[in-house]
Amino acid sequence: MDHVAALLLELGLLFLGLSVLGLAARRLGLSPVPFVLLAALALGEGGLVPLSTAEPFLEASAEIGVVLLLLTLGLEFSATELFSSFRRHAPSGLVDLVLNAPPGFAAGLLLGLPWQGALALAGVTYISSSGIIARLLGDLGRLANRETPAVLSVLVLEDLAMALFLPLLVVALAGEGPTAAASGIALAVGAVLVVLLAAQRHGHHLGRLLSHDDDEQVLLRLVGLTLLVAGLAQALGASAAVGAFLVGLALPASFAERARAILGPLRDLFAALFFVAFGFATDPGLILPVLPAALALAAVTTVTKIGTGWFAARRDGVAVPGRLRAGTALVARGEFSIVIAGLAVTAGLADVGPIATGYVLILAVAGPVLTRVVEPLGARLLPVPAAR
């Protein structure tokens, strides 16, 4: 068959399949992430129906998908919100880090991964899925709940930590020494601080440069600028994802809302292709042997995430049922855990892929299910007075 015809047929079937999976996930009240990963495992390396012609396109799309995910992450909050979350919930962020990163690092070492792979797995277990959790809170009508500000503050601090963690991980995966790692962190910290300060004072100028009455012009300008900055960041030895995050962070809130609306469908498309590409690179036959380890790790970090949410909500004076809701809401892992694992796999640590895939598949499903059932359970088992 002609190469172009084969490519179009494979992509057409893939997109239609992703549509069906998205509908199934929505009907079940779950994130589409585990459904897409399972489908990709069936179609990729060692799978049932390999889509060999589309693989080069998917690999390039995956890189763009990561950049767009981090761009929209940066668009989610302003410098004021970041500083406010840090002042209010810095202790919660520290508890989150201490409870949830070490299990991944320890599991990586026990599974025989090099320390760089263990570091990547620590990031996988640390970061909750902002996308899954935000949608879940909206679906359950909990956005106005007393515990929700604590949950969102923890997510904001995790996302900010990613801007510091990703350069460190990139340096570690490149095999460079502690000096390079320290300089990478210092560069990331400096860049974040400079962008935050510049955004407060001059972000409106950048917003005016990107603004236009035509949505197409806004999309082209925003994506073009983001890809340029991401490419420069990658060329300088940092992470393209961090560069994209900083672009989103630099834009004023007045422009960010419109940018999110315009960028949303494109982001969702390329994000789905990123998950497909990651699943393609993972042999499903390698997941089964590490599934018991993934289950054990998921069980441990479910408890530690509940502990994180409990601590954060208690700091806000929330009662016990609300603390449980906050803790279970943070359990889900998803897009950014796969981004971290994808960096490790690309760097040659293929063994990180199966354990991360199994782990995310479990918690992307278990997290939303757990937070849906805990409210009536908590009200029945823990009858306490309402939060003051």
Give the domains, in start order, of the chain with CATH numbers: 31-379 (1.20.1530.20)
Q: What is the pTM of this model?
A: 0.79
Residue 300 pLDDT:
97
Residue 188 pLDDT:
67
Residue 237 pLDDT:
64
Residue 251 pLDDT:
83
> Which tokens sit at 53?
């012609």
Residue 331 pLDDT:
95
> What averages of pLDDT result for each successive group of 10 residues across the chain (388 residues)?
83 89 84 83 65 82 86 74 74 94 96 93 93 80 85 86 81 74 68 68 74 90 90 76 81 84 89 84 84 95 96 91 92 89 90 92 89 69 47
Residue 46 pLDDT:
54
Residue 385 pLDDT:
47
